[in-house]
Structures are given as structure tokens and as C-alpha cells.
Amino acid sequence: IAGITQAPTSQILAAGRRMTLRCTQDMRHNAMYWYRQDLGLGLRLIHYSNTAGTTGKGEVPDGYSVSRANTDDFPLTLASAVPSQTSVYFCASSAQGQGGDTQYFGPGTRLTVL
Amino acid sequence: GQNIDQPTEMTATEGAIVQINCTYQTSGFNGLFWYQQHAGEAPTFLSYNVLDGLEEKGRFSSFLSRSKGYSYLLLKELQMKDSASYLCAGMDSNYQLIWGAGTKLIIKP
């Protein structure tokens, strides 16, 4: 593994189903983030984690949950998917989550909720 | 509120120079980032400015004026591979990035 990986690459999901998007990084970064990207809008932060064992809510957290059991993994769960959660989801990480930290992005997961 | 504004789309000619502007309003300020995103791919880091002035990095330069809440990305000697979206993001007092919607740059031969 080099950098950040996400799985699956794409998924079509029925409304009401539960779904977990996976994110793994091998850079030993402390901070990790989940964003969604929708056409015409900027990246919007869903949840973040500044270090293993801690998580925080971003701009659009409703309908999503995260956990950070260890440094490398940061899964995002949709408990009961709705069509408005159709989006491209990006996971990112940065060394410390502080000023000047560059965020590095995974390849994204394209999710369609029908 | 927090807001990042940048043009939706720009067109330029191969070999030319283009300037992409960004105005920002954030709660506190810990720097301004530019990212490049090719269609269907992840954003990749281009530049970071926290002090006023111009930062040059090869064909790409980025400028910041904190008093005006303004930044620009300057791309010189444009190549076809520069066709992409360019994302401006301001870092607020909580070290969170506030993102603009991106500027789609179209390069014509």
C-alpha cells in the first residue's frame, strides 16, 4: 500500500441499506478526514479525526458515522442510506491536522443511492 | 459565515498564461491552499500560502493578500495536461479547510 486507499471504487445501493466505506493510509498520519463532493459545490467535510481514538463532526455529519480504532483506518458508515447521499466520497489524511498541514486524498468512492 | 469564491470556468490557449482568482472569508485564518483535480480523480496539492506575497514553484505560482482576503494561482506556459479543476481552500481557526467549488480550466490548442 502506498498513500491512501479507499474501497469500494464505486457502489450502487438501495435506499435504506447500511453501507461502510473503507479508508486506509500507510503514512502514519495522525489526522484523517471524510469529504463528499457534489457537482457545483466545494468539498464538504463530513467527519474528521485528529488522532486515533478521537473523532469530530464536520459541516455535514447527519446520516454518517465514523470510528478511529487505530492510526491507519477510518471507515465511514451510512446507517440507512438516502438518495441525497449520492455523491463522490473522498478520504484524506494529514500529518498533524494543524496549520499548514497538506491533506492527501484517496482515489474516492462513487456512491449512488437509489 | 465562511465562504470561498472562485470563477466556475475559464478558457485559455496552450502556451499562454492564466490567472485563477479566489476570494476567501474564514473564521480565523491559517493559510490558503490550491489543489488540482483532474476529472474523475482525487485532488492533489499544488501550493500553500500563509504570508503575503508570491510563492513560485516551476510553472505554477500562488499569491496571497491577507488584508484583501484574496489569492490567485498563476499558471504559465500552459500545457494540455493542465486542463483540470483548480480548487481554492482556506484553513480556518480550527485547522479545517473551507473549499471553493473549483474553477474548471479548459485549455485549447
**What pLDDT shows up at residue A100?**
78
- The average pLDDT across A21-42 equals 95
Q: How far apart are the first and last CA of chain B?
A: 40
Cα(A64)–Cα(A44) distance, integer angstroms: 13
Which residues on chain B are in Cβ contact (under 8 Å) with A104?
45
Q: Side chain identity at B52, as an amino acid letter?
A: D
| Residue of B96, B103, B104 to mutate when probing chain A, most A C-beta within 10 A | B96
Cα(A44)–Cα(A109) distance, integer angstroms: 15
User: At which residue does the C-alpha cell 497538506 appear?
Assistant: A102
Q: What percent of chain A has pLDDT over 70?
A: 99
Q: Which of A42, A97, A100 sits opposite B4 (nearest CB)?
A: A42
Binning pLDDT at 50, 70 and 90, where does residue A1 land?
low
Do the Cβ atoms of B45 and A103 come within 8 Å?
yes
Distance from CA of A23 to the nearest CA of B (A): 14
- Tell me the per-residue pLDDT of B42-100, one tens digit each, with 9 for 90 and over: 999 999 999 999 999 999 999 999 999 999 999 999 999 999 999 999 999 989 999 99
- The average pLDDT across A57-62 equals 96
Cα(B75)–Cα(A17) distance, integer angstroms: 45
Q: Which residues of A touch B (CB under 8 A)?
A: 40-45, 48, 58, 90, 97-108
Q: How far apart are the first and last CA of chain A?
A: 32
**What pLDDT shows up at residue A97?**
79
**What pLDDT shows up at residue B1?**
79
**What pLDDT shows up at residue A99?**
73
What is the pLDDT of chain A when averaged over all its residues?
95
Q: Which of B31, B98, B99 sits opposite A100 (nearest CB)?
A: B31
Strands A19-25 and A4-7: antiparallel
Asked if residue A51 has pLDDT above 70, the reply is yes
Strand partners, A56: A48
Which residues on chain B are in Cβ contact (under 8 Å) with A90?
42-43
Do the Cβ atoms of B100 and A58 come within 8 Å?
no
- The average pLDDT across A55-81 equals 97
Do the Cβ atoms of B48 and A100 come within 8 Å?
yes
Peptide bond into A83 cis (omega under 30): no
